[in-house]
Structure 1
Amino acid sequence: MDLDFQVIIDNFTYFMIGRYPNGPLGGLGLTMYLAVVSCILSFFGGLILGLLSLSRYPVIRYPVNLFINTIRGLPLLMVIFWMYFLLPALMGKTVPESQTVIMGLTVFTSAYMSQIVRAGIMGVPKGQTEAAISTGLKGWQTMLYIILPQGMRNMIPSFVNQFVSLIKDTSLAFIVGVSELTHVGTQVNNRTMSYPTEIFIFIAAVYFVLCFAFTSFSRWLEQRLAWRKSI
């Protein structure tokens, strides 16, 4: 079978940035935008949920854990659909598709990141907490200045891995019409009807390069942190 990647060359700019700057951002640029914004929001969302899931108060801890376990037990596609239909109903106005996807990715990923935060905090020896309290620090001060900085060192590689997963998850945005990389590839394929193999090989290669780069960065980061810890 002969492959002709001329279709990729002819539509390369469209694959990368969509119609931007003469139209909305799309393609790889929109994929990275969705991933980066969702990852930043998920970091703070996961941090808050992780801390609340460890609360000493059952009235806080139980509902938070129920929410986390519920979201983790659902497919991401269903969460995106929820946001797509639920947000406009709650806000009383039309919400851009990209924002609904960002909210879906944020809620879904926050639930997973909360478990990273939880594990990172619980991995800090309890003696650190006891020593901090014995010096007169309050509970929130102990968490903010002693426990979190130490736990964060263990969380960072897992956060990077979650970001890699988030990049791949953005491909589900095409289901609600967001013109990210997979959706652009489908549009080009529907227009040409002649090069589906070449188009989706190219898309797979782009995802692979992105994910491999961040996975390699995660491994380097783990080695770097392990080296610092051994000093």
Structure 2
Amino acid sequence: MVANPDFIYRPPKSPYLSVVYQDDDIVVVNKPSGLLTVPGRLPEHQDCLENRVKSVLPSATIVHRLDMATSGVMIMALNKAAHVDISRQFEKRLTQKHYLAHIYGHPKEAQGEVDLPLICDWPNRPKQKVDLEHGKKALTQYQVLSSDEETSLVKLTPVTGRSHQLRVHMLALGHPIIGDRLYAHDMALALGERLHLHAKFLRLTHPVSKKVMQFEAPCTFDLGDVDFGEEMI
């Protein structure tokens, strides 16, 4: 049994492809919520970010991924050398990534970290779960940016990159992400038509020029003007 047996894939068509930056070696895009990063096995799951980019930039290759429900900034390589270099930066945790999440409730501490190992919840896949004995190390740093009566806006920094890490770690804190159809309770689910998780900021070294570059992607559920620039790092 899977977690979403009645799932029907309806990827957003507008904007079809949102390019943040492009040069001879890389392309940076803003992936919309609801679009797969890579194609699925079924014919109806072929529309994805990878194929959309390849339709205009055939040499583009995927270096990292975002969950289908997550939106935000992603980088793709346009040649083999760039792919190897950027992959190395992700593998060695030389990149900096910050996410914006709209969560249910109010964390007790204004900032902190969640250090809980994760493993696939196999009977309920693709869900993940905390497993202190068999899980793989997962670490997330968080900072509360603002709050209202029911919810909080938080900056999330994943130190590791486990599947669904941010979603499960927020759930473990008792504050599921708004609109999360896999992990949110009914009250948090009712507050959003989509998952309120967005990859807002990415910093890395350009694979050829070696210049440090940073990219941001605008967020549709942003609760205010949140700057993830130098003072936020």
Compare the two structures and name the one with the higher strand fraction: 2
Compare the two structures and name the one with the higher helix fraction: 1
Query: Over alpha carbons, which structure has the higher Rg?
Result: 1
Structure-1-length-normalised TM-score: 0.29
Flag the structure with more relative contact order, 1 or 2, with Cα contacts below 8 A and sequence separation at least 6: 1
Structure-2-length-normalised TM-score: 0.29
